[in-house]
Amino acid sequence: MAFTSTAANGDERQQVEPLLDRVQHHVNSLQERFGTIPIFEADKGYDADQLREKLLRRIIFPWICRRKKPGKVVERIDAVLKRIRWKVERAISWLQRKFRRLAVRWERRVCYWKGFLAFGLIVFWIDRLVR
């Protein structure tokens, strides 16, 4: 499980590359084993042409919804992405409702918050598997 915590006022797009550096060996092994291209899923906040180019150079498909621009016609793939994004937002909402400590970090040390996040994700997936 790879997740990281950063300042709330920072640019999240700048954190993608260091995160990919940490998991690149896993991505490479999946590419070699199954011969598929991994997918990077993100919401509109990560919509940037530079990020898309960096991901494509690493042979990772950027599954990122584009922001609405005035006068532009919504593409068909963007409509699909919006439907999928709702499921992601629902999962985040579930985590914040069940574990209020994840919504606002009260702990002084990041390692405690990461422990609560890991616990919350484990409970989330157990709940999904039991259904």
Mean pLDDT of 99-123: 83
Structure confidence at residue 21 as a pLDDT band (50, 70, 90) = confident
Return the percentage of the chain with pLDDT > 90, whole number.
Answer: 2
Asked if 50 contacts 28 with a C-beta cutoff of 8 angstroms, the reply is no
Q: What is the CA radius of gyration of the chain?
A: 17
**Is 70 exceeded by the pLDDT of residue 78?**
no
Whether 35 and 76 map to the same domain: the answer is no
Q: Which of 90, 88, 86 shows the shortest CA–CA distance to 98?
A: 90
Asked if 61 contacts 37 with a C-beta cutoff of 8 angstroms, the reply is yes
For 62, phi and psi rounded to 5 degrees?
-85, 105
Whether 60 and 82 map to the same domain: the answer is no
Task: Give 33-66 as a DSSP string.
Answer: HH----EEEE-GGG--HHHHHHHHHTT-EEEEPP
Q: What range defines the domain where residue 110 resides? A: 72-131
pTM of the predicted protein model: 0.60
**Is 70 exceeded by the pLDDT of residue 3?**
no
Asked if 65 contacts 28 with a C-beta cutoff of 8 angstroms, the reply is no
Whether 25 and 58 map to the same domain: the answer is yes
Number of separate domains in the chain: 2
Whether 35 and 7 map to the same domain: the answer is yes
